[in-house]
Structure 1
Amino acid sequence: MPNTEPNDMIQDEKEKAPFLKGNLPLAIGAAVLVLGSGLLGYSVGHRQGLTAVGFEADAEQLVEVVQKQKTSLEALNKKLNATTQERDLAVSNANDLFLAVNKARDEHTQAESLAVLYREVLRQRGGLPLSVQHIAVKPLPENAYEYQLDLIQVSPSKARVSGSVEIRLIRGSEILVVPMADKNFNFENYERLTGRWTMPKGFVPEFIEVRLTGAKPVTRRFSWGKGPAIENQSAFLSEIPQTEPNAN
């Protein structure tokens, strides 16, 4: 029997070789396409994953920034409201103060007008000689005292009066002269003298006496009355409350 199998195999290999040779570029292209598709899919998926992670991080950061801005805005709103209230209160206080100042100015003007009127009446009736209108003494800390002495006179000829003042503290036969920084006066209608002195320890006067020397000497004696001491000493004499001793 003739051997045909080897011949058939040889014939098949010869037929496959030209087929592979002719379709080799196509096979390579298909492999490249499959590999490229895999790489492209991985790359796209990887990028999408990174993009999603980055988006979440950006979103969290944006939320944090917005929250900080919201907190800052709330603080600014509170500050604005407080400033507005302070402004309104200041404006209200300024208006009240303005009205009070105008009222005080009007009252002062009215009092001055009345004083001028009274002085003119007194001049027409012969005037008013030099006199002590008022004296006030106030205790201060550390055994100190403050005096306020008001002098007045009305001359028919509108002449000025001048002289000096002496303030004495009297206890029985003891007499203490109060040291005065300015004891001279020179005025037409009215003058106020103020000052402070330190009382010797243990000395409690019974009377306070004011002596005026001038064209006509004047002497007035008042009983000594001691009130409560001032805790917070004022830097301005006009801010210290006044007290008027009882006159004999």
Structure 2
Amino acid sequence: MPTEISKSTPKIVKRSSTGVMSPLILVLFASAVLLTGVIATAFGHKFGYYRGYQASQNEAKLKGDAQQLTAEDIKKLKLNVESLTKQVNTAKQERDISLNNLGQMRQDIQDLEVKNMQLIQVNDVYAQSLVQQGGLPLQVVGAKMEPLPENAFEYRFDVAMLAKDGLQHRLKPTLTLLDEDSLVEVPLEPSTYDIKGISRIRGRFVMPSGFKPKQAKLNLESNGQKVEQIYNWQLSAPVEKMPMSLSEVPETDQRPVNEGKGNTQASK
């Protein structure tokens, strides 16, 4: 039986596209990864360089500012030291001047105290001499009236007396204001004084509204002696720099009066 040899039919085998593309994909992926790494490295290097540059610039700027501030502070400190040194030197000079003035004032006070004691001694000698001669009769040695704010007036009378016994006695003064038809008695405070030598009568009063005195009469009484002194009330020139209120003239003037033995004047 003849053998039949079958003719094989050739088959076309198609290569899978997946097998062909796999190496290419791998190459592309590797290239992409490599490119990404290169880019990342370059960017990182550039970014790091920029940050480092910025940091170095900031540090240099801070160092420069620190050096500049330090120089300004040193300059200010020097100026402050110079100013304080001048103030200290001025204070020392003022202290030395004050100490010198204080020493001079102390010396002046001591000199015045010595002179005052000497005058007291002389007065005592004169007083004893007058007492031995019968004393000094009661008399007014000075009188003055001065206008004050708020229609007030200040009276100042210096009275002298030495009794025959050389003792201190009570003095009672009375002050009366007179116009053409009436009189006003001025209340004196204090109402009595002690006298042995000189007694200073001081005080103030408010003039009654509408009253215009023509005369002021002072009556004195002490140790059995009586004296009456009348003064014409005359208007002198207006007083300059008159205080605005009595509170600006808190105390009466205790200086001796060397005028007004016969007449006293009062200003407008």
Q: CA deviation at 1:247?
A: 0.5
Is the Cα–Cα contact under 8 Å of residues 171 and 221 in structure 2 kept in the other structure? yes
Q: How does 1:48-87 map to 2 (within 5 A)?
A: 55-87=63-95
Is the Cα–Cα contact under 8 Å of residues 123 and 156 in structure 1 kept in the other structure? yes
Could you state the TM-score of these two structures normalised by the residue count of structure 1? 0.68
Residues 52-94 of structure 1 show CA distances to partners (whole Å, capped at 9, x for unaligned) of 6565343223212202211221331232244234324433443
Residues 179-200 of structure 1 show CA distances to partners (whole Å, capped at 9, x for unaligned) of 2121112333332221100113
Counterpart amino acid of residue 228 in structure 2: T
- Structure 2, unmatched stretches of 5+, are 1-48, 264-268
> 2:230 maps to which residue?
221
> 2:128 maps to which residue?
120
The RMSD of aligned alpha carbons is 3.2
> 2:41 maps to which residue?
none
Q: How does 1:60-209 map to 2 (within 5 A)?
A: 60-209=68-217
Q: C-alpha distance in 2, partners of 1:186/1:240?
A: 18
**Number of residues of Structure 1 aligned to a counterpart in Structure 2:** 205
* TM-aligned CA distance change 1:56 to 1:76, over 3 Å: same
* TM-aligned CA distance change 1:242 to 1:59, over 3 Å: farther
Q: C-alpha distance in 2, partners of 1:97/1:88?
A: 14
* TM-aligned CA distance change 1:50 to 1:217, over 3 Å: closer
Counterpart amino acid of residue 134 in structure 1: G
Is the Cα–Cα contact under 8 Å of residues 170 and 205 in structure 1 kept in the other structure? yes
> 2:251 maps to which residue?
236
Which secondary structure state, in structure 1, belongs to the residue aligned with residue 225 of structure 2?
coil
> 1:212 maps to which residue?
220
Which secondary structure state, in structure 1, belongs to the residue aligned with residue 121 of structure 2?
helix
* TM-aligned CA distance change 1:203 to 1:106, over 3 Å: farther
Q: CA deviation at 1:119?
A: 0.7
Q: C-alpha distance in 2, partners of 1:130/1:239?
A: 20
Q: Computing the radius of gyration over CA atoms, which structure comes out larger, 1 or 2?
A: 2
Q: CA deviation at 1:212?
A: 1.6
Q: CA deviation at 1:240?
A: 7.8
Q: C-alpha distance in 1, partners of 2:226/2:177?
A: 18
Which has the larger displacement, 191-200 or 148-157? 148-157
**More helix, by proportion:** 1
Could you state the TM-score of these two structures normalised by the residue count of structure 2? 0.63
* TM-aligned CA distance change 1:104 to 1:225, over 3 Å: farther
Counterpart amino acid of residue 132 in structure 1: V
* TM-aligned CA distance change 1:241 to 1:193, over 3 Å: closer
